[in-house]
Amino acid sequence: MKASIAQYYPGDSIVHRLDARAKFVAVATLAVALFVRDSFAGLAVFASAGVVAYGLSGVPVAWFWRAFRPLLWLIGLTFLTQLLFAPGEPFFSWWIFDFSWEGLQFAAFLSLRLLVLVLIGSVLTLTTAPLALTDGLAWLGRPLRRLRVPTDELALMVTIALRFIPTLLVELDQIMRAQRARGAEFGSGGPIRRAKALVPVLTPLFVLSFRRADELALAMEARCYQPGIVRTRLHPLRAGMPDAVLLAVTAAIVVAGLLV
């Protein structure tokens, strides 16, 4: 079984080398601007920024497509609901549905906006290792520590969760094989039968996960893990000139996108 939940594509492009924090700030700013501005012209500006960034990342289209494909459903669904339920002068009616030009336009706009958002967000997740992203988010969340939000501990939790997903997938595969060897069948029959077929899989998986969590906690304690103290990092985050340039360019794009 292939463990590919993270879309990260290892590489050494200019986009890969940018600091995770700078990339996150840039993407978040662009996302907000994207939702503030509601014209096709603004959309075009942000879309071209996304395309250029994606082009610089050197991520193969096939890889991007694999991560993107599941989202097509969501975008398609958005288009359909907006098309059917947006108010406007209908030019065509069928059963309980009215189709209007306004609805069509609105639906196209919303779907395109979603598409651009996914593109920009993907550039971040495709070029930033999950661990770097977590570290970056923890750094950005530091001010929250004044409000007693345990940001470092939260970041550690996310890191551990990410680390164990491939492990759990391997274990899941083993358990499913073992139950298949005992005659279990997955993916056949109605939804209730399918859900019932998962009990022999999920029970051992949960038991294993709890046992593993217990052992991990013990191992961390044995290695003197203490929550709430300052710790150094193996790979400290380093921001430099390219990151400053990224933020400046982002600001320029936002201004351009909002003004056109």
Partner 1 sequence: MSAASSDGRAVSSRSAPGIAAGMSVRCDGIGFSYAEAHTPIPALRSVTFELAAGRSLALLGPSGSGKSTLLQVIKGLDTPEAGTVALDGLRPDAPGYDAARREVGLVFQTPELQLFATSAREDVAFGPRRLGRPEEEVQAAVEEAMELVGLPPEVFGGRHPYALSGGEQRRLALAGVLAMRPRLLLLDEPFVSLDPATRRELVRILVRLRSGGVTLVLATHDVDLAWALCDDLLVLDGGRVVASGPWDAGEAGRALRAAGRLREPFLVELWRRLGRDAAAAPPRTAAEAAEALR
* Binding interface with partner 1 (CB under 8 A): 2, 174-175, 177-185, 199-201, 203-204, 207-208
Helices 40-57, 101-127: crossing angle, 10 deg rounding: 30
| Nearest to partner 1 of 4, 39 (CB atom) | 4
| Nearest to partner 1 of 17, 177 (CB atom) | 177
Please report how close the Cβ of residue 200 comes to partner 1 at its closest, in angstroms.
4
| Nearest to partner 1 of 114, 201 (CB atom) | 201
Please report how close the Cβ of residue 181 comes to partner 1 at its closest, in angstroms.
4
CB 55, CB 134: distance < 8 Å: no
Distance (Å, rounded) from C-alpha 149 to C-alpha 167? 29
| Nearest to partner 1 of 11, 150 (CB atom) | 11
Please report how close the Cβ of residue 157 comes to partner 1 at its closest, in angstroms.
25
| Nearest to partner 1 of 66, 145 (CB atom) | 66
Dihedral sign (CA 188, 190, 191, 192): negative
Please report how close the Cβ of residue 12 comes to partner 1 at its closest, in angstroms.
18
Residue with tokens 């069928």: 94
| Nearest to partner 1 of 155, 176 (CB atom) | 176
Q: Tell me the two tokens of residue 147.
A: 């409000």
- The neighbour count for residue 129, using CB atoms within 10 Å, is 16
- Indicate left, alpha or beta for 53 from its phi (over 0: left) and psi (-120 to 50: alpha): alpha
| Nearest to partner 1 of 183, 227 (CB atom) | 183
Please report how close the Cβ of residue 14 comes to partner 1 at its closest, in angstroms.
25
State how far the alpha carbon of 137 is from the alpha carbons of 25, 105, 133, 161, in Å. Answer: 10, 37, 6, 15
Please report how close the Cβ of residue 173 comes to partner 1 at its closest, in angstroms.
10
Percent helix / strand / coil, the chain, rounded to 5: 75, 5, 25
Please report how close the Cβ of residue 147 comes to partner 1 at its closest, in angstroms.
41
CA dihedral 50, 56, 61, 66 (to 10 degrees): -60
Largest CA distance in the chain: 71
